[in-house]
């Protein structure tokens, strides 16, 4: 969410400069870059957390399925 919003704000700053001719000072561009990199880092940490969580579940060595009985009786 943070990376997407900073990307949209950066796009708005570029459009504002090119179309409307408004001069954007240096602080908003710094803010956009910091927020974008922070958002990318949070996305990376989230992906890493999902990966570690799945490894943890896999290392428990629990069966995927639990059967009530082994084998099947013939109905005939």
How high is the pLDDT of residue 51?
Answer: 97
Question: What 8-state DSSP symbol labels residue 22?
Answer: P
Instruction: Please report whether residue 20 resides in a domain.
Output: yes
Region of 71 please: left (phi>0), alpha (psi -120 to 50) or beta.
Answer: left
- This prediction has a pTM of 0.62
Instruction: Please report whether residue 28 resides in a domain.
Output: yes
Instruction: Please report whether residue 73 resides in a domain.
Output: no
Instruction: Please report whether residue 32 resides in a domain.
Output: yes
Give me the domain span that covers residue 9: 2-59
61 burial (CB, 10 Å; 0-12 / 13-18 / 19+) is exposed
Instruction: Please report whether residue 74 resides in a domain.
Output: no
| pLDDT digit string, tens, across residues 20-73 | 888 777 788 788 888 889 989 999 999 999 999 999 988 887 777 777 777 766
Instruction: Please report whether residue 27 resides in a domain.
Output: yes
Name the domain count of the chain: 1
Q: At CA 45, angle to CA 39 and CA 56, rounded to 5?
A: 160
Sign, CA torsion 42/43/47/50: positive
How high is the pLDDT of residue 54?
Answer: 92
How high is the pLDDT of residue 47?
Answer: 97
Instruction: Please report whether residue 75 resides in a domain.
Output: no
């Amino acid at each position: 969410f943070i990376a997407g919003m900073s990307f949209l704000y950066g796009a708005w700053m570029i459009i504002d400069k090119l179309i409307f001719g408004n001069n954007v000072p240096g602080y908003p561009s710094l803010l956009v870059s910091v927020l974008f990199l922070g958002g990318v880092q949070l996305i990376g940490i989230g992906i890493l957390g999902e990966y570690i969580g799945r490894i943890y579940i896999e290392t428990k060595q629990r069966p995927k399925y639990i059967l009530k009985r082994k084998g099947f009786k013939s109905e005939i």
